[in-house]
Amino acid sequence: MFSGSIVALVTPFTPSFEIDFDNLAGLIEWHIAAGTHAIVIAGTTGESPTLSDDEKVQLAEFAVRVSAGRIKIILGNGSNNTLASVALTQRLNRTGIDGYLTVAPYYNKPTEAGLMAHFSAIAEATHLPIILYNVPSRTCCDLSNRLVIKLSELSNIVGIKDATGDLARVKELARECEQDFALLSGDDASALDFCQNGGHGVISVTANIAPEKMHAIYDAAAKGDFDSAKEIDGQLSQLHTELFIESSPMAVKWVLYKLGRISNTELRLPLVTLSKAGQSCIEQTVRDSALYPQEF
């Protein structure tokens, strides 16, 4: 089962907006050393809407090669075109990755029957485990608990990333889904409460810049030591919010650049570099967190 602190990794780019594989290798090595439990490549934080299918395959192959079995690699394979997601999944099956994060189809406004057919078709295209991704604030498509419970009966749909922040949902899913169905928060600010209500971990933006702290939080939570987990999480609480001061991953890429983990702050249009006001805000937040007293 996928659990713990899973990073939704950024995709670093060169000044010409090509994938910066050298910086990507460094980020993967950093997360392995920090104890991050798994890496999501080409998710929302990885700017998946502006990555081609060829680039997603390249990213998968590269991440698998660099990680060499030392950390689980999960790929974003979702879209609002079922046939396109199936075709991409069939290509990614051959890369050696460990599983998929499959976002709810956006814009089309499918019915529950359409959602069931969509996810079933993708599940049938792979032997690998699939984590559903429910983020209605971005997709305008909400996976109801009733649908998630039905989908959890499919053998290779093994979990959900729930970014709604609605703790009532996780309580019901923990009660109704199979015991080994992974319940992962997609909202750093409420993720620890999510785990106290039956969740198993988080797919995190904050982990991009604080991998050791995030590992410590969810290692303590897994042991039932929520007092220690809350103490560490309190140091990051403002970061959990301020990393979304402008559209993610604008702020997190800025911090990684300031830390020397990536070479620039390039994002692909329509996203642009964090504004001056945003830069000042996030720099102050990092200083307040005392994460990097020398760098900020």
Displacement of CA 144 from its chain's centroid (Å): 20
Q: Catalytic one among 56, 100, 133, 213?
A: 133
Say how far apart CA 150 and CA 116 lie, in whole Å.
8
Reported in sequence order, the residue ranges of 9-71 that DSSP labels E, i.e. its strands, are 38-41
Structure tokens at 91: 């290509």
Q: Catalytic one among 100, 107, 150, 161?
A: 161
Question: In b/e form, how buried is each residue of 19-38, taking b as 16+ CB within 10 angstroms?
Answer: bbeebbbbbbebbbebbbbb
Residue owning tokens 């499919």:
154
Confirm whether 109 is a catalytic residue. no
Confirm whether 223 is a catalytic residue. no
Question: In b/e form, how buried is each residue of 96-120, taking b as 16+ CB within 10 angstroms?
Answer: ebbbbbbbbbbeeebeeeebeebbe
- What are the residues whose beta carbons fall under 8 Å from the beta carbon of 106, sequence distance 6 or more? 80, 138, 139, 140, 141
- Which residues are known to be catalytic? 133, 161
